[in-house]
Amino acid sequence: MWLSNSSVGRKVVMSVTGLALILFLTFHCAMNVVALFSPSGYNWICEMLGANWYAVAATMALALLFVIHLVYAFWLTWQNRKARGSERYAVTDKPKTVEWASQNMLALGIIVFLGLVLHLFNFWSKMMLPELMHTEDLQVLSNATNGIYHITKTFSNPIYVVLYLIWLCALWFHLTHGFWSALQTLGWNNRVWFERWRCIAYIFSTIVVGCFALVVIVFYVKSLL
């Protein structure tokens, strides 16, 4: 099959799954920003999502996309090393300003994955999972849709704050390269659009990651007051 047997096909799979995950990040970012302005509104969103069938279906689809993206990342890295030594995640005309990110996409991706595991532990395992497991613990169930409670509890811990900020830093580097690289793979590879998408990637990644970081910092500062 072309999507798995050719290098270009594998890059297309990486690009499509990566862009789909970026769309989810955009939604998640918008959702988290609500917590800064309206705790009740954020909790309403958490309750609306909860363990409803559409939220569960979306979670399973996201998990599948992430697994495919991760598997293909290791596959491409292994192939690139085998064919070209230490060169990784290669695209044509790589700008010097993203050279470090380009050469360390897999390492950055592993950090992003570890951060995701931490995030799932702090939030998904305490919000959606108890509902799916039909736990009889009334206290756990009462907090399952109380997103503000979990945000406040998590980001009042300075260790988690530092870990999340490291995670977000890695995510920023991963996004800035991955965004325009994916679009280039899918056809926007002329020199004019190359520079435009690179600029858009920096702006988009900074806004999204900045909003996530703002939530972490704001709730940590609130815990100190």
Query: What CATH number has the domain spanning 2-224?
Result: 1.20.1300.10
pLDDT of residue 208: 95
Which tokens sit at 196?
A: 């435009």
Domain boundaries, the chain: 2-224
pTM, rounded to two decimals: 0.84
Whether the CB-CB separation of 124 and 140 falls below 8 Å is answered with: no
pLDDT of 169 strictly over 80 = yes
Helix and strand totals (H; E) in the chain: 11, 0
Rounded to 5 degrees, φ, ψ at 192 are -65, -50
Mean pLDDT of 60-69: 91
Q: What is the mean pLDDT of residues 189-218?
A: 88
Residue 179, CB-side half-sphere exposure with 13 Å CA sphere: 25
Higher pLDDT, 133 or 89: 133
pLDDT at 5: 63
